[in-house]
Amino acid sequence: MNKRSKIIFICMFCTPLIVSIVMFGISELPVESPSPKNKFKFMTYNIHFGAGMDDLLNLERIAQNILSEDIDPDVIGLQEVENGRLTSHGIDMALWLARRLNMYYFYFPAINEHAYGLALLSKYPITSAKGYQIPSISLERVLIHGVVMINETLEIDVFVTHLGLLDWDEDLEAQVIFVLQKINQVSITSNKILMGDFNLEHNSSQLDPVYNTFNDTLGGDPRPRTFPSINLFGEPTESIDYIFTAKNVINIVEGHVITDFLPGNNPAEFGSDHLPVVATLTFP
């Protein structure tokens, strides 16, 4: 049995094969309180159901990608997270990654079978969380909202989403407007973070309303690309993954795309078809 097969075997049999109660609630995993600091790292990562560009399921690779470059993110938004599906050997991926990374988490399904959706992971307690269905024509889409408590004086409204595909005739302008309206309705602080896979380039007109109220932590021209993680030409061709921060409130220290994965690994073996985006932020 090779190393990859062993990892998959461990994932299959050591991870609970039941649907986690955090599908509709917040986990109570035991975690140590992080040391006090003034800079915080946020990450968004479409994990492609835990399958890399080689089509092999390996959640440990996802964990290693998250931990690469000594990033050690404080809050993570995940897309394409499976829970108990046969295609992923019945693994509750959000629970597995939360335990592996020693983080609190919230999972919310995007489809009726409750087995595919979004997750929010945090080193800090998630004091409340909820999911919302986004209007869609084809595959169901959702927005999740979690309030992360850093300390008694600092709370952060974190939103994670995964918008539809233009190729499937989705009205992404309507989806963006829904997301922004919901953010305005349910936020309890001015510290707003919106992140996820938007399936839109930064110069798409559908994203104009977002740029009117949020800052893009990557920015730059050209904006760094995030998808696919590897192709025939060796480089990503699309820039569709984002971490947005509320304007005039949150200070962006830096943002970048993670490309330095497992040392010596073949790029075709990256854990997902997307590259993670990470941003370092400070709050008032």
**Which amino acid does the sequence have at 220?**
G
Task: Name the percent of the chain lying above pLDDT 70.
Answer: 74
How wide is the angle at C-alpha 41 spanned by C-alphas 49 and 268, nearest 5°? 35
Least confident stretch, 31-40, 72-81, 187-196: 31-40
For the segment 139-188, what is each residue's pLDDT rounded down to a tens digit?
789 999 999 999 999 999 999 999 998 766 679 999 999 999 999 999 99
Q: What is the pTM of this model?
A: 0.85
Q: For residue 199, is it left (φ>0), alpha (ψ between -120 and 50) or beta?
A: left
Cα(109)–Cα(203) distance, rounded to whole angstroms? Answer: 29
Residue 5, CA atoms < 13 Å, CB-side half-sphere:
2
Q: Which CATH entry fits the domain spanning 39-282: 3.30.70.600, 3.60.10.10, 3.40.50.720, 3.40.50.300?
A: 3.60.10.10
pLDDT band at 11 (very low <50, low <70, confident <90, very high): very low
Domains in the chain: boundaries: 39-282
* pLDDT at position 50: 66
